[in-house]
Amino acid sequence: MGGKMKQSEAGPMAGEDFLQRCRGIVGPGNVITGQDDMAPYLTDWRGRYTGNAVAVVRPATTQETAALVALCAQARVPVVPQGGNTGLVANSVPDQSGQAVVVSLKRLNRIRGVDLVNNTITVEAGCILEEIQNAASDAGRLFPLSLAAEGSCTIGGNLATNAGGTAVLRYGNARDLCLGVEVVNAQGDIWDGLRGLRKDNTGYDLRDLFIGAEGTLGIITAAVLKLYPLPKAQVTALVGLQSPQAALELLSLAQETCAAGLTGFELMSRFSLDLVTRHFPQMRIGLSEEFPQYVLLEISDSESEAHATGLLEALVSEAMERELLGDAIVASSIAQSKALWSLREHITLAQAIEGKHVKHDVSVPISRIAEFIRETDALLQEAFPGIRLVTFGHLGDGNLHYNASAPEGVADDVFIQGQEAINRIVHDSTHRFGGSISAEHGLGTLKRDEIKRYKSAVELRMMTAIKSALDPLNLMNPGKMI
């Protein structure tokens, strides 16, 4: 089992003849070759990786995508699938060889249908996440996947990365929300797996192979997604606490009090919020600044606004009594709730504006998260005195964004030279705690080599065997993940 994967080679047809055939498939206007026009597709969201490509090609249908991939297979031209290019692990941009074609799926953006009895929506891969949320809501349903990049990421990218976000606690991640996929495989064949079934035990779960594969096995062209009832009410609160341990205790209490009504539970260190208000001063909300940690929590309710508010008030007063929390801001309007969520959703952008930093997207068992933070903070401060940790994330899922910025007075470029050593401390610590070094963003180029330290040889061999079987020429997003 296993075997070494082939290096992908650009074939003889990656020249003008190849481009001409691409134009024949998608139309001349959808084969982009000028460096300036290709630029937005060649650099990742963080601006840390810039690659090169033969062309960016923009198919509009599954059939065009299939014809294009078949042509690439024939010509041995590597394919880099791309959606909104918001990935955070450098998985959506080509390498610098200039041999690959970037296949942008953004023109595959039709909503194919809503089935209100099956509670599903069938969408093409290039649909923007927010547009799917809106289409679901127009149909009186909820599509719960939600993340700060929802205005620009696509469902194809969400599925290819098995995206998480802020509603996983209640609804699961992208994988849990998908009932079927349509895929163009590495040979350019179309697999119609748009079954929309909630039960289907007919062999290996191919759908789940393509989900989370970061475009390394094929291109997802469409998907059937689960819909849920729209909640009657949603209430949001931002509370201040003394420690991650207090946040954990609050989480247990909230789960006891609200059961499945608890739909969001996000931890944010004070420094994370300070960064947001430093770079977006208009977002100040008169928050008491005396707490080292904050939790943004959301309760959704199928009964009424009054019932939801009652649950939240009961939770807050019980938590106060147990001295778990100090300050609490309970949003009294949709606008205020949005303002609280906006603070949370601007942390990534604020830290990017603050400067280059080292990102981590780790998960550990929820019960061990406070201990993980305590121990890893101490190790990092010892090795890099003054390191500024931006610790936030989806506490309810045991998933932390444990991002490190340079100490005051240290230039970013100097600081990120220590990236390897910082990764070693954080990832070794994650591993000791029984965790994962990529909870929701994937491996991409950023963590492709790092993962070899933490997965067993047998697991890596099985992954390589799957890749070799489905993409024997190693043409699908080569160099990413595996």
Residues that bind ligand FAD (CB under 6 A): 45, 80-88, 91-92, 105, 125, 147-149, 153-154, 156-158, 160-161, 163-165, 214-215, 219-220, 348, 440-441, 477, 480
Residue (263 or 348) nearer to ligand 2HG, CB: 348
Least separation in angstroms between CB 241 and ligand 2HG: 19
Residue 81's binding partner, choosing from ligand 2HG, ligand FAD, none, with beta-carbon cut-off 5 to 8 A by kind?
Answer: ligand FAD
CA separation for the pair 265, 393 (Å, rounded): 9
- Choose between 300 and 348: whose C-beta lies nearer to ligand 2HG: 348
DSSP characters over 432-477: HTT-BSBSSS--TTTTTTGGGGTS-HHHHHHHHHHHHHH-TT--BS
Kind of pairing between the strands at 55-57 and 101-104: parallel
The alpha carbon of residue 214 and the mean position of all alpha carbons in its chain are separated, in whole angstroms, by: 11
Tokens of 191: 């697999």
Query: Least CB distance from residue 403 to ligand 2HG, whole Å?
Result: 5
CA dist., res. 247 & res. 393, Å (int): 12
Does residue number 188 form part of the binding site for ligand 2HG (CB under 6 A)? Answer: no
405 forms part of the interface with ligand 2HG (CB under 6 A): no
Q: Which does 401 bind (CB under 5 to 8 A by kind): ligand 2HG, ligand FAD, none?
A: ligand 2HG
Best CA proximity match to 169, nearest among 435, 398, 433? 398
In the complex, residue closest to ligand FAD by CB: 157
158 binds, among ligand 2HG, ligand FAD, none (CB under 5 to 8 A by kind): ligand FAD
The nearer residue to ligand FAD, 267 or 308, going by C-beta atoms, is 267
Q: What residues numbered 307-366 form the site for ligand 2HG, per CB under 6 A?
A: 348, 359
Comparing CB distances to ligand FAD, the nearer of 240 and 264 is: 264
Using Cβ positions, the residue closest to ligand 2HG within the complex turns out to be 348
Among ligand FAD, ligand 2HG, none, partner that 359 touches (CB below 5 to 8 angstroms by kind): ligand 2HG
d(CA 312, CA 239): 12
Binding ligand 2HG (rule: CB under 6 A), the pick from 337, 363, 403, 468 is: 403
Q: How many CB atoms lie within 10 A of CB 50?
A: 13
Query: Which residues 6+ apart lie within 8 Å of 219 measured at CB?
Result: 65, 69, 79, 81, 103, 105, 125, 156, 183, 184, 476
Beta strand pairing call for 399-405 and 361-363? antiparallel
> Which residues contact residue 299 at a Cβ distance below 8 angstroms, ignoring those fewer than 6 apart?
234, 235, 236, 258, 261, 262, 263, 308, 311, 312, 315
**401 lines the binding site for ligand 2HG (CB under 6 A):** yes
Between 6 and 279, whose beta carbon lies closer to ligand 2HG? Answer: 279
- Shortest Å distance, C-beta 313 to ligand FAD: 28
CA neighbor of 348 nearest in space, from 42, 39, 47, 43: 47
End-to-end CA distance of the chain: 16
Binding footprint of ligand 2HG on the chain (CB under 6 A): 148, 348, 359, 393, 401, 403
